[in-house]
Structure 1
Amino acid sequence: RAAKLCDKLEHLDFFIRPLNIQDPEITSDNHDVNKFFASLNNITKHVQAGLTSLAHFDDVVTMAEIIAGGKKALKDNPIISFIACVFKSPLQIVDDTSEKVFAIVEAGLPLVISSSPQGGSSAPIQEAGMVAQINAEILAGITLTQLIKEGAPVLYGSVPVRARLDDLHDLYGCPEFNQYNIDCVQLARYYKIPCYSSAGVGDARVPGMQAMFEKLFTHFYMAMSGAQYIHYAFGLLDRTNCFCPLQAVLDNEQIGKIKHCLRQPKINPTEIDNTLHMVKKVMASSHRLFARHARKAMHSGDISDPYQFETKDMEDKVIENALEYMARLEAEPAPHLDSDVMERIYNKVPGLLPGLKTT
């Protein structure tokens, strides 16, 4: 359901499975192939995930090659990528994850070297200490990838969090979360490495004012900081413990507004000439109003629309309107793989659940 819905959300650019698989038929042996297949069979966007086990990595790659159209096609346009947390904070390398890094890099597929220390427990809570530690962990992991294969595609994966001091759970809706992450983005820019950053997470358990405040608080700051690849951005509540489809729809609208705010200004010689012509035309008219030209700009997408879920009444109906919109999206068919592609995958990849096969 999450992949199908997210395929319809125009401002979501890639997909990371937001739920842990709970099906009783899923084991450590078939976990990876089923989570990738369930995603790829319901979304046309890039799919990213971690590896539960290295044993079936080759099967995941085979699946992606079949969907992409071959080994070269997958290398030219990777439809999947991976996340690996090489270090257990503080500063302890993990043998199992390191082995996965070797396999992914040797396969030539993109990889996020991720680190997620918690300020106040597994890292200093002070900004300088947190950033120094996470930077060391990420750079060590990235160095490993380049020693395996120089030029391997890799992202600087910064996921620093802060501990609540009352229960030591992660605390996302706080200024320190932004400070840690902005610092990491700037370090990645300094090293000229694309940054995988975090935003859109909060501590709220249900959609509402707290959730929107916490999400906007991080969405806007991370986007403005220059992070190229922002995860955790859609639908997550209760410190990433819950995925809410309604919240994903609300986040999509919010992120669309942020993308519009931060897009490149449309200022060039052609635009300046057109604007001068428009001003002369309006000033020569009797009404001297730019309304007609504003409508043209709206229809062309140059200016933004009003908030999608607004209401004309005094009562706040954002949740109600978003639920209606979500119902329309979910009523649309999912973008399943072609039947012949699906047959080839089931013939080549062991462990796939029969119930995931669609017609």
Structure 2
Amino acid sequence: MGENVAVDAEPTGGRRGRGERGGAAARRAARSGGGPGQQLTYIRRKVKVYEVLDDEGLALIEKNADTVLEEVGIIFRDDPEALQLWKSAGADVKGERVHFPRGLPRSLLKTAPKVFTQHARNPERSVEIGGDATVFAPVYGPPFVRDLDGKRRYATIEDFRNFVKLSYMAPSMHHSGGTVCEPVDVPVNKRHLDMIYAHLRYSDKPFMGSVTAPERAEDTVAMAKIVFGDEFVENNTVTTSLINANSPMVFDETMLGALKVYARHNQATIVTPFILAGAMSPVTVAGTLTQILAEVLAGAALTQLVRPGAPVLFGTFASSISMQSGAPTFGTPEPSLVSYGAAQLARRLGLPFRTGGSLCASKIADAQAAYESANTLNSTLLAGTNFVLHAAGWLEGGLVSGYEKFMMDVDQLGMAQRFAEGIDLSENGQAMDAIRQVGPGSHYLGCDHTQANFQTAFYRSTIADNNSYEQWLAEGEKTAAQRANELARRWLESYEAPAIDPGIDEGLKDFVAKKKASMPDAFT
């Protein structure tokens, strides 16, 4: 597979970050949960991936997916250009349904990069996507929030800015994300402008673009060019955007339009079948994997017809459902098996992989939320996921972005990052001097090695209470959610926006103002 080679230049809109890139500061932050400003770089996994399928099983899924593409086909709805691209490439186009000769999508994807860099406004925050890298991005898409006063309500643009700020301040969050919540107090046709501006102004981490209409994707690219420059954007990747398949086996004109815009400008797309197994795919893991692979092959290969070499990710969002009510369920075994299997298929295909996060169906940040999120996040990390959407803040099956849940999840992400470092086998990690010094029958509390390492030896949670019962009583008998609430408030009170060139900021504001003035408000 080809590699995405970046132009040897830096974006013009950023500055060097206050946080250190790696080293002792990063290790301290990883063990303590860090604090605002102590940023961690994206993860370089040093633990092996967990695999659930052998070569024979993978080959069977791939064969079945090719059969689906050839015999059943994929609908590309209301997009004559996409249909013509497929026809010219040798596919059999019947109306809006495309049937693919065996191997055609796979051959087209040979031009897609295995690994690429998404550049941030602050070069220190740029991330690598693919290979052994893992990038955590926050929750995406909920129309509601669970606020710091405990109310479930519609999200506002102020909530959106708050989540961008919290993501910027969170040491273990590597990415600003996209629609961290849907600001319903802003007109539908204009809110994307405020959202993209918030990502570019209130954070200097990488961000995701708008996909709700092709022209909104164009606005995203235009705003990125104000920050990074035209040439830099056309030759490098500065935004990664989510393209959902309308499963089963349909891509609609909205998603296709955004996909084409981003691919033409060399910007990354995450082609993701949105699966509620039993409703939008078969009830079995193997059947679901077959459909996912077929949909990803068709959607991802289209990016290469638009622009060979455009970065694209193999995405999947898979949930089971309650067969009694039809409601989505999370943290259950079957979606984890789907994630593990899909990750293997992505590696064989040579594409970066996206799945998982901290998913739950719970309405509040309670034990159900914790168990379901932990089960999902654990399998996400061990699958070898490169881009983790919904890594923090997800509640109620994706209907709600929760402030307290966000802070609790961020704490867990720090633990996950520490785990992914693997075992230190350096001279210090081996600790032979400590073993010799202490000898039989003594303890390690006061030895030189312990004293030298005590600040960084173990991860220290920002949320968990490990003190005595008496101390817990004296401090107000606070729950984890209450401690998360207080931490979120402290972070937001202490937030300081990253610097930006005043001319670039004015350019962004002017672009937003002119675009808003060019059209009437629309709320549908």
TM-score, with structure 2 as normaliser: 0.61
- The CA deviation string for residues 71-108 of structure 1, in whole angstroms up to 9 with x for no partner, is 344457644221112x3211123233223222211101
CA shift, 1:252, in A, is 0.8
Residue 45 of structure 1 and its aligned partner are, at CA, apart by 1.6
Aligned partner of residue 289 in structure 2, secondary structure: helix
Supply the distance in 2 between the matched residues of 1:220 and 1:351 (Cα, whole angstroms): 43
Q: Is residue 317 of structure 1 aligned with residue 475 of structure 2?
A: no
1:54 Cα deviation (Å)? 1.1
Residue 294 (structure 1) aligned with residue 450 (structure 2): yes
| Pairwise CA distance, 1:303 | 3.1
Q: After the TM superposition, which residues 61-210 of structure 1 pair with which residues of structure 2 at under 5 Å, given as runs?
A: 61-68=221-228, 70-74=229-233, 78-85=237-244, 87-210=245-368
Change (3 A) 1:266 1:119: same
Distance change (3 Å), C-alpha of 1:306 and 1:106: closer
Tell whether 2:492 aligns with 1:330: yes
Cα shift readout 1:127-170 (whole Å, capped 9, x = no counterpart): 11111001110111111112222221111111122222233232
Letter matched to residue 172 of structure 1: F
Other structure's SS at 2:203 match: coil
Is the aligned partner of 1:351 residue 2:509? no
Contact 2:394 2:400 in 1 (8 A): yes
1:197 CA displacement:
0.6
- Are the structure 2 counterparts of residues 275 and 236 from structure 1 closer, same or farther at C-alpha, using a change threshold of 3 Å? same
What is the alpha-carbon distance in structure 2 between the residues aligned to residue 239 and residue 65 of structure 1?
35
- 1:13 matched to 2:171? The reply is no
- Describe the SS at the equivalent of 1:41: helix
Q: Given the superposition, is the C-alpha separation of residues 156 and 42 from structure 1 closer, same or farther in structure 2, using an over 3 Å criterion?
A: same
Q: Secondary structure at the match of 1:114?
A: strand
The answer to whether structure 1 residue 4 and structure 2 residue 4 are counterparts is no
Check conservation: 1:4, 1:42, Cα contact below 8 A. Answer: yes
Supply the distance in 1 between the matched residues of 2:261 and 2:236 (Cα, whole angstroms): 19
Q: Which moved more, 1:313-322 or 1:13-22?
A: 313-322
- Partners of 2:424 and 2:233 in 1: how far apart? 34
User: Equivalences for 1:17-32 in 2 at 5 Å?
Assistant: 17-23=179-185, 25-28=186-189, 30-32=190-192
Q: What residue in structure 2 maps to residue 57 of structure 1?
A: 217
- What secondary structure does 1:348 align onto? helix
Distance in 2, matches of 1:333 and 1:134, equals 41
Q: Would you say how many aligned residue pairs link Structure 1 and Structure 2?
A: 345
Query: Any idea what SS the aligned residue of 2:358 has?
Result: coil
Find the counterpart in structure 2 of residue 340 from structure 1. Answer: 503
Distance 1:322 1:163, change over 3 A: same
Structure 2 vs 1, CA of residues 64 and 109 (structure 1 numbering), >3 Å: closer, same or farther? same
Partner-residue secondary structure (3-state), 2:271 = strand
* AA partner of residue 351 (structure 1): K
Pair 1:262 & 2:423 matched: no
Distance 1:312 1:265 in 2: 27
The AA in structure 2 aligned to 1:293 is H
* CA distance 1:78–1:296, shift in 2 (3 Å): farther
Q: Which deviations, in whole Å up to 9, do the C-alpha atoms of 1:45-74 show, x marking residues without a partner?
A: 211144111124333212112223x13444
| Alignment deviations for residues 222-277 of structure 1 (CA, whole Å, 9 cap, x no partner) | 10111111111211110010111111100111121122122132224x557x7444
Deviation at 1:342, TM superposition (A): 1.7
Q: Does 1:231 align with 2:392?
A: no
Q: For CA contacts below 8 A with separation 6 or more, give which structure has more relative contact order.
A: 2
**2-side partners of 1:264 and 1:75: how far apart?**
37
**C-alpha distance in structure 2 between counterparts of 1:157 and 1:246, whole Å:** 27
| Structure-1-length-normalised TM-score | 0.87
Match of 2:10 in 1: none
Cα offsets for 1:172-202 (capped at 9, x unmatched): 2322221222211121122221111112110
1:16 partner SS: coil
Distance 1:56 1:326 in 2: 31
Identify, as 1 or 2, the structure richer in helix.
1
Q: For the Cα contact (< 8 Å) 2:233–2:265, is it kept in 1?
A: no
2:358/2:390 contact within 8 Å kept: yes
* Alpha-carbon distance in 2 for matches of 1:73, 1:296: 45
State the match for 1:241 in structure 2. 399
Q: Is the 8 A contact 2:271 2:296 kept in 1?
A: yes
**CA shift for structure 1 position 4:** 0.9
The Cα of 1:221 is off from its aligned counterpart by 1.4
Tell me the distance in 1 between the aligned counterparts of 2:435 and 2:334: 47
- SS in structure 1 opposite 2:208? strand
Counterpart Cα distance in 2 of 1:286 and 1:165: 58
Cα distance in structure 1, aligned partners of 2:260 and 2:386: 25
SS of 1:39's equivalent?
Answer: helix
SS in 1 for 2:365: coil
Structure 2 portions without partners, runs of 5+? 1-161, 470-476, 518-524
